[in-house]
C-alpha cells in the first residue's frame, strides 16, 4: 500500500515553545511518520506520512 503525505506550514508562535516536540509525540501516538522543521520565516513545516488506510481511519474518528 502506498504512503500519503500532507505538507502544512504552521504560523504564529510555534518556534521556541515545544511545538515540534509535541507534534512528534502526537504523530508517534497516532502511528504517523514524517518530520517537522523550523523555517527561516518563523513558521514550522510539518509533513506527516501514513498509508491511505491509516489516514481514512484517522479521518473517520
- Annotated catalytic residues are 20, 38
**Contact residues for 1 (Cβ-Cβ < 8 A; gap 6+):** 51, 52, 53
| CA–CA separation, 26 and 30 (whole Å) | 6
Q: Which cell numbers hold the place of 47? A: 509533513
Amino acid at each position: 500500500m502506498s504512503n500519503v503525505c500532507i505538507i502544512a506550514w504552521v504560523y504564529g508562535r510555534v518556534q521556541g515553545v515545544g511545538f515540534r516536540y509535541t507534534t512528534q509525540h502526537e504523530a508517534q501516538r497516532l502511528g504517523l511518520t514524517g518530520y517537522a522543521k523550523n523555517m527561516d520565516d518563523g513558521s514550522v513545516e510539518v509533513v506527516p506520512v501514513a498509508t491511505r488506510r491509516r489516514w481514512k481511519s484517522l479521518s473517520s474518528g
